[in-house]
Structure 1
Amino acid sequence: MASRALAGDTGPIAGNPLIEIPAGTFIFGRDDGPENERPRRVVEGRAFAINRTEITNRQYASFVEQTGRRPAFYAGHPVLGLDDRPAVGVSWADADAFCRHHGLTLPTEKQYERAARGTKGNGFPWGDMPRDDMRANGGADRCCGGDDRDGYLVTAPADSFAAGASREGVLNLVGNVWEWTSDVYAPYAEGSATGGDYRVLRGGSWNSDPRHLTTTYRLAYDPEFRFAANGGFRCVRSLP
């Protein structure tokens, strides 16, 4: 599936183009999942562009060299630290600083969900067919251990699993690593929160069981924690 990179604009992060997500209505949330994913509703979304893959160790190391910010916790790890793997061991503030350094931001939950599930409310980026080992890097059937049935015991290269790409060609929006969003965690029914203690991770990871590997699952997480070997991020740019 071809990616819809912005014409003439591959984005500020070398090797990780921005993929355009058009404006329009889409389905957000669901009524048949965990309580914190409810209610299902149709919302109007503005156009934006999102990195084709998670931010890699190579890309994060370049940021560290330019800014002097601390490295990702697993930089140098024999597998997790490989150049082409998603940068893991990054706090919310580290991820936010990376995106802002490049003139971008972390995605909102609505942006992430729209990129991941399309306009029709799909359960997965590729549609509604359940995840298989060709489409996403997930874990064991029971939480929360990794396995190598999909070819990778832990993280996979960020450009892996082309069969699991979204309609617009964005990769690994489900599986591989959890991804930080910009939002403070709050149940949808209570509206937006501004002073909560947790941020939201989306997408599941290499050690997630099937319950967590959906386009709607929300994980509330301590934004200061930077030791997770299964948590990364990507960035977005708003469009007119």
Structure 2
Amino acid sequence: MVITLAFGATAADGGLIAANPLIEIPAGTFIFGRDDGPENERPRREVEGQAFAINRTEITNRQYGLFVKETGHRAAFYANHPILGLDDRPVVGVSWEDADAFCRHYGLVLPSEQQYERAARGPKGSAFPWGEVPPGNARANSGADACCSGDARDGYPMTAPAASFPDGASKEGVLNLVGNVWEWTRDVYAPYEGGTAARSAGLYRVLRGGSWNSDPNHLTTTYRLAYDPEFRFSANGGFRCVRSTL
């Protein structure tokens, strides 16, 4: 699911993050989880959500680079890669702590799983941000039909620009909540209430959304990937931030 590459060194926002506005998500009930997918996505239930705002796109290399310049924080692992390191592509090669530090620098936080899923599914629990129709090649940057390798059928063999695939936007206008790169959430991985306990519970953080090398089984608004928060070498893992409106 998450892919690692090894390359050498060549290899409504108030303007918080340049060119990446925060999109308001209103309070209200929404559908969270599903009963017809993997065990760790169950149960499906109705949740009362508070209002929040989420970045329109994944954080880009340009935006992360500015953060590095301002703070002296370490650069993303793939900052110099000829494709993954392009300014307009989502930053990849960052640990959970790197992502958390970026968001907090701007007075924001990583999204919770519920916030991410509400932004991606809408209040009615859609399978995809745009509705129920599978993405095809026009709505998301995804991989081959069999896990887990990229292809260029959608125009991009690896990451796509963070502002691409407008046809795949959510109802509120948030882009690439499915596909392009997996995205860190702030939650520690654990089964949902009533779910079966897993050995990995409490050890990992949760990635959401699938990526440029994801097959259809991983490219949904509900798929949960438990991942080592210290690992910073994933070529398909990035993030975006949220702000509570309370």
Q: For this structure pair, what is the TM-score category when the shorter chain's length is used for normalisation?
A: over 0.9
Residues 112-151 of structure 1 aligned to structure 2 (within 5 Å): 112-151=116-155
Q: Is the Cα–Cα contact under 8 Å of residues 148 and 214 in structure 2 kept in the other structure?
A: yes
SS in 2 for 1:61: helix
Residue number in structure 1 paired with 2:70: 66
Residue deviations 1:73-97, cap 9 Å, x none? 0001100000000000000000000
Q: Distance in 2 between matches of 1:20 and 1:34?
A: 30
Q: Distance in 2 between matches of 1:10 and 1:137?
A: 29
Equivalent of 1:204 in 192, 206, 210: 210
Q: Is it true that 1:40 corresponds to 2:44 in the alignment?
A: yes
Equivalent of 2:224 in 218, 233, 239: 218
**TM-score, structure 2 normalization:** 0.92
What is the one-letter code of the residue matched to 1:221? Y
User: How many Å apart are 1:131 and its aligned residue?
Assistant: 1.3
User: How many Å apart are 1:10 and its aligned residue?
Assistant: 4.1
Residue number in structure 2 paired with 1:109: 113
What is the one-letter code of the residue matched to 1:30? R
Equivalent of 2:238 in 229, 232, 239: 232
Q: Distance in 1 between matches of 2:153 and 2:124?
A: 30
In structure 2, do the counterparts of structure 1 residues 145 and 80 end up closer, same or farther at CA, with 3 Å as the change threshold? same
SS in 2 for 1:110: helix
User: How many Å apart are 1:189 and its aligned residue?
Assistant: 2.6
User: How many Å apart are 1:190 and its aligned residue?
Assistant: 5.2
Residues 149-168 of structure 1 aligned to structure 2 (within 5 Å): 149-168=153-172
The number of residues matched between the two structures is 232
Residue number in structure 1 paired with 2:3: none
**TM-score, structure 1 normalization:** 0.94
Q: Distance in 2 between matches of 1:148 and 1:10?
A: 36
Equivalent of 1:96 in 72, 76, 100: 100
Q: Distance in 1 between matches of 2:104 and 2:178?
A: 24
Residue number in structure 2 paired with 1:3: none
Q: Is the Cα–Cα contact under 8 Å of residues 10 and 16 in structure 1 kept in the other structure?
A: no
Q: Distance in 2 between matches of 1:14 and 1:130?
A: 32
What is the one-letter code of the residue matched to 1:196? G
User: How many Å apart are 1:175 and its aligned residue?
Assistant: 0.1
Q: Is the Cα–Cα contact under 8 Å of residues 108 and 182 in structure 1 kept in the other structure?
A: yes
CA RMSD of superposed structures (Å): 1.4
What is the one-letter code of the residue matched to 1:166? S
Q: Distance in 1 between matches of 2:194 and 2:88?
A: 39
Q: Distance in 2 between matches of 1:130 and 1:80?
A: 26
Q: Distance in 2 between matches of 1:72 and 1:237?
A: 23
Deviation beyond 2 Å, 4+ runs, structure 1: 189-193
- Identity between Structure 1 and Structure 2 (%): 79
